[in-house]
Amino acid sequence: MTRGFEIVSTYANEGLHIPYRTTKRAAGYDFESAVAFNVPSIWKMDFLKVLWAIRHQKDVDKGAIEKAKKILKPFLIPTGIKAYMGADEVLILANRSSNPLKRGLVIPNGIGVIDADYYNNDSNEGEIFMQVLNFGLTDAKIAKGDRIGQGIFMHYLTADNEQQPQQERQGGFGSSGK
């Protein structure tokens, strides 16, 4: 086994597709959404109210700021997929170029870095999620099976004389601490 994809156990009977390349020289394996999903546009009244208040140097009430923060919180689209690879490899999860154009969807973290040691981690089995925000004017409706992103396997390099990390990955997102 060199590298590849598997369906995580919670989605075993959901008819998901393993990521696939659509053309002969495609670098990216297209990932489908595991669920039907609505990503609301960020341009909701609660957010606009806060922007308006800032623009007009009015006091912004705390409740409104909290609501606006929620609107700006990225969504995590489940893929139901985990990836295994060599210890010196990484899977880069990138947006599809058409997503911002057609759906207003951007990946706020730029790209997703899927580490080799994320596979089969104890907290979520290594399920890959795609972080998105919808900067479009309208909500983005995603159907189960829509192609949402693409994963590219790569080798990564390490620096001379680095202190070898001793820590094993325990869990998913944000589990390695601050």
Ligand X SMILES: O=c1ccn([C@H]2C[C@H](O)[C@@H](COP(=O)(O)OP(=O)(O)OP(=O)(O)O)O2)c(=O)[nH]1
Residues binding ligand X (CB under 6 A): 93, 109, 112-115, 118, 128-131, 172-176
C-alpha pair distances (Å), 146 with each of 6, 95, 160: 18, 13, 42
Closer to Mg ion by Cβ: residue 99 or 121? 121
Side chain identity, residue 178 = K
Pair 116, 90: CB distance under 8 Å? yes
Cα dihedral value 115, 117, 120, 124, nearest 10: -60
Tell me which of ligand X, Mg ion, none is bound by residue 20, counting a contact when its beta carbon lies within the kind-specific cut-off of 5 to 8 angstroms.
none
Residue 176 CB, shortest distance to Mg ion, in Å, is 5
Continuous segment of H or E residues that includes residue 78? strand 75-78
Residues 147-176 vs Mg ion: string with x where CB under 5 A? -----------------------------x
Half-sphere exposure of residue 6: CA atoms within 13 angstroms, side-chain side: 13
Tell me which of ligand X, Mg ion, none is bound by residue 175, counting a contact when its beta carbon lies within the kind-specific cut-off of 5 to 8 angstroms.
ligand X
Tell me which of Mg ion, ligand X, none is bound by residue 174, counting a contact when its beta carbon lies within the kind-specific cut-off of 5 to 8 angstroms.
ligand X
**Contact positions vs Mg ion (CB under 5 A):** 176
